[in-house]
């Protein structure tokens, strides 16, 4: 059976899209070019910022998200991945606009958390303010009996600055130090693992930065994409 074509609804932001592409390449057991998957990437950074739209004072990105998803299907994608956690607020509208599966990053992370920590009860999440306010992780994890804890307002400001800093190319050690402090507060609230719930954050936080499992949502999504592209049964819902 031929490999499936992966469609990447990207550009939110471009660094996160690049990170997903590299992770898919590294996860692929390829010896020659032809062993790799075909990817169709629409790196569309002109999609309006998702966070202001969710929080009530920004342009609705739905038309651009839907148009980009349709472009990918028309270009030959067999399924879609979205390397942006916050964009999953619009997941249902994207999925309804195409006739191919769309992987759901929060569902995949919830499953990965149970694999990393079989008895996980509390999961810390570092994500945009809009992602946290939307309840996306709370709902996905709650279906498996996992409680989600997030930063306090001061910690959330640190996370927001880190995310938009990466978008601006600011990836220095001081950014990592700030995130580690916020994550440490989540551990004090009982978190048994921490999720990088924004796809910019893998650039500034690595597994060795914490003493508990650090779940990179972009890596989790890449693994799910490779499984689906090869026809391996999915263990998490594609909705």
Residues 115 and 70 both lie in one domain: no
pLDDT in tens, the chain (239 residues): 689 999 999 999 999 999 999 999 999 989 999 999 999 999 999 999 999 999 999 999 999 999 999 999 999 999 999 999 999 999 999 999 999 999 999 999 999 999 999 999 999 999 999 999 999 999 999 999 999 999 999 999 999 999 999 999 999 999 999 999 999 999 999 999 999 999 999 999 999 999 999 999 999 999 999 999 998 765 544 34
Domain that holds residue 72: 6-104+219-230
- 45 in a structural domain: yes
Residues 86 and 44 both lie in one domain: yes
pLDDT attached to residue 234: 54
In 21-39, which positions are buried (b, 16+ CB within 10 angstroms) versus exposed (e)? Answer: bebbeeebeeeeeeeebeb
Angle of helix 105-116 versus helix 217-230 axis, rounded to 10: 100
- 198 in a structural domain: yes
Residues 61 and 50 both lie in one domain: yes
Sheet arrangement for strand 79-81 = 39-43, 6-10, 79-81
Answer yes or no: 84 catalytic. yes
Q: Which of 9, 69, 125, 198 is catalytic?
A: 198
- 40 in a structural domain: yes
- 193 in a structural domain: yes
Answer yes or no: 141 catalytic. no
d(CA 163, CA 175): 9
Full-model pTM: 0.95
- 196 in a structural domain: yes
pLDDT attached to residue 8: 98
- 1 in a structural domain: no
Residues 114 and 211 both lie in one domain: yes
Residues 91 and 130 both lie in one domain: no
Domain of 82: which CATH number? 3.40.50.1860
d(CA 48, CA 61): 5
Residues 135 and 75 both lie in one domain: no
Angle of helix 153-167 versus helix 173-188 axis, rounded to 10: 150
Q: Which of 20, 53, 84, 136 is catalytic?
A: 84
Residues 211 and 119 both lie in one domain: yes
- 142 in a structural domain: yes
d(CA 7, CA 81): 6
Residues 119 and 93 both lie in one domain: no
Residues 123 and 57 both lie in one domain: no
Domain count, the chain: 2
Question: What sign results for the dihedral spanned by CA atoms 67, 54, 101, 105?
Answer: positive
Residues 92 and 156 both lie in one domain: no
Residues 138 and 87 both lie in one domain: no
pLDDT attached to residue 237: 44
- 239 in a structural domain: no
DSSP symbols for 162-223 = HHHHHHTT---HHHHHHHHHHHHHHHHTT-SEEEE-STTGGGT--GGGSSS-EEEHHHHHHH
Residues 97 and 132 both lie in one domain: no
């Amino acid at each position: 059976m031929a490999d499936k074509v992966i469609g990447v609804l990207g550009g939110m932001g471009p660094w996160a899209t690049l990170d997903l592409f590299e992770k898919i390449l590294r996860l692929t057991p390829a010896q020659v070019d032809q062993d790799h998957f075909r990817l169709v990437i629409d790196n569309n950074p002109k999609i309006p910022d998702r966070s202001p739209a969710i929080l009530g004072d920004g342009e609705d990105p739905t038309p651009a998200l839907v148009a980009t998803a349709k472009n990918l299907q028309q270009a030959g994608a067999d399924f879609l991945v979205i390397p942006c956690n916050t964009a999953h607020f619009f997941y249902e509208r994207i999925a309804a606009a195409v006739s191919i599966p769309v992987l759901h990053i929060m569902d995949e992370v919830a499953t990965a958390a149970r694999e990393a920590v079989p008895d996980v009860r509390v999961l810390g999440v570092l994500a945009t303010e809009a992602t946290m306010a939307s309840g996306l992780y709370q709902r996905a994890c709650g279906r498996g009996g996992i409680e989600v804890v997030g930063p306090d307002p001061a910690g959330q400001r640190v996370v927001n600055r880190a995310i938009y800093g990466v978008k601006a190319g600011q990836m220095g050690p001081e950014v990592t130090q700030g995130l580690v402090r916020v994550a440490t507060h989540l551990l004090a609230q009982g978190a048994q693992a921490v999720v990088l719930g924004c796809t910019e954050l893998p650039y500034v936080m690595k597994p060795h930065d914490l003493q508990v499992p650090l779940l990179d949502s972009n890596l989790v999504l890449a693994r799910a994409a490779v499984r689906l592209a090869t026809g391996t049964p999915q263990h998490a819902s594609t909705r």
